[in-house]
Amino acid sequence: MSGVSIWLPTGSALVLFGLLGMLLASSILRKLLAFNVMGSGIFLLLLALRPPGPDGVADPVAQALIITGIVIAIAATALGVRLARRYFELSGHTELPEDRAATRDD
């Protein structure tokens, strides 16, 4: 039990990093990356709450949920990246107007 519980703070910290990244980073791509980090944190929490049984194999339901989540996350990321590319194409900017006032990032 204690071996698994390391992953609860780790997952929470990943969620924190992701949140900070999504709130503070100005570049859209960085926000997408932070979104993925946050998702990974959530997945980690999900699996850490279902520690492996005696045979060492993790909960199949949690595994299936996470696999579904990974695939959805890549779809959302790809959509975001495409929109960011289109936005860059049209405006020449890599960050949204409300973030642009703050600074130039890349």
Using CB under 8 A as the binding rule, whether residue 75 contacts other proteins is answered as yes
Count of residues for the chain? Answer: 106
Q: How many residues bind other proteins (CB under 8 A)?
A: 83
Judged by CB under 8 A, the chain residues 38 through 57 that form the site for other proteins are: 40, 43-45, 47-54, 56-57
Q: Is 84 in the site for other proteins (CB under 8 A)?
A: yes
Say whether residue 89 binds other proteins (CB under 8 A). Answer: yes
What is the C-alpha separation between 66 and 11, in angstroms, rounded?
14
CA 15 to chain centre: 8
At its nearest, how many Å lie between other proteins and the CB of residue 30?
6
Residue 13-32 contact track with other proteins, rule CB under 8 A, x = bound: xxxxxxxxx-xxxxx-xx-x
Closest CB to other proteins among residues 85, 97: 85
Q: Minimum distance from CB of 41 to other proteins (Å)? A: 8
Alpha carbons 77 and 53: distance in angstroms, whole number: 33
Phi, psi of 77 (to 5 degrees): -60, -45
CA distances from residue 52 to 5, 14, 38, 96, 106 in whole angstroms, order as listed: 12, 21, 23, 43, 42
